Amino acid sequence: MRIDILSIFPEMIRDAVGVGLLGKALENGLLDVHAHDIRDFATGRHRSVDDTPYGGGAGMLMQCGPIFDAVESLRPVNSLRRIVLLSPRGKRLDQAMVRDFAAEPDLVLLCARYEGVDERVSEALVTDEVSIGDYVLSGGELPALVLVEAISRMLPGVIGDWESVETDSFYEGLLGPPQYTRPETFRGRTVPEIVRSGNHAAIRRWKRKEALRTTLLRRPDLLETTARRHLNNEDYNMLAEIESEMPIGEKENQP
């Protein structure tokens, strides 16, 4: 998969993608990430890519020209089928969107700066507008890296053990269950006996139930949205068990 990232700080991208699993994915040819400097497509002597907004207002906006030229320069190497603007106005990123993007042969990620981009960029170029949360950052570089990292985990061969992907939080709309490693006892806290039992069927059920419990307590909204299509009758039975095990006060706090 090829991902082209447009930014005025491409060094932020280049420095980050060369480490960890991303670095290995690049090294092994499973992922191809290229960072491009939007300023290379500016026409002025000062390589300026921003200007004041019509109608007044604080801050500056990124201009159409350099962005359009930067995107169009990618035609020989990128299909330009999906052009993603990282923006707080976008749809909030979730695992379903990650899976959708990971199925593409290539993507273009556009990192805005200043007060955003001229609206004509969104109207004529952008196919997807994505936010990583309800807060504002100085630019789209960090959100772009979040998206690249999430996508990379969905590509065959990047993660050695695919089971570790399938048990990630949000893979089926649920948060992940608790996990433990050595030592067996630490400062009076002991690893649950069931996960040390060697009974794989019981362990699988325990993990599923604890994932349901964690989601119910921390993100009950997921059980009404993304997780619902993955739940089966056994899951609903476990949810009933969980609710019966909850203290009365805790039950009353559930939506």
- Complete DSSP assignment for 28-67: TTS-EEEEEEGGGG--STT---EEPPTT--SS-EE-HHHH
2-7 sheet: strands from edge to edge: 32-37, 2-7, 106-111, 83-92, 128-131
| Axis-axis angle for helices 233-245, 200-218 (nearest 10) | 70
| Structure token pair of residue 157 | 């061969």
Paired residues of 6 in beta bridges: 36, 110
Q: Which residue of the set 37, 94, 104, 115 is catalytic? A: 115
Distance, C-alpha 85 to centroid of its chain? 14
Q: Is 141 a catalytic residue?
A: no
Is 184 in the active site? no
Query: Is there a catalytic annotation at residue 53?
Result: no
Largest CA distance in the chain: 70
Catalytic residue among 10, 88, 143, 177, which? 88
Using CA of residue 230, residue 92, residue 122, residue 18, what is the dihedral sign? Answer: negative
Contact 12, 141 (CB under 8 A): yes
221 annotated active-site: no
Q: What are phi and psi of 171, to 5 degrees?
A: -60, -40
Contact 126, 110 (CB under 8 A): yes
Upper half-sphere CA count for residue 234 (Cβ side, 13 Å): 6
Sole residue written with tokens 């089928």: 81
Q: Which residues are tagged catalytic? A: 88, 115, 153, 168
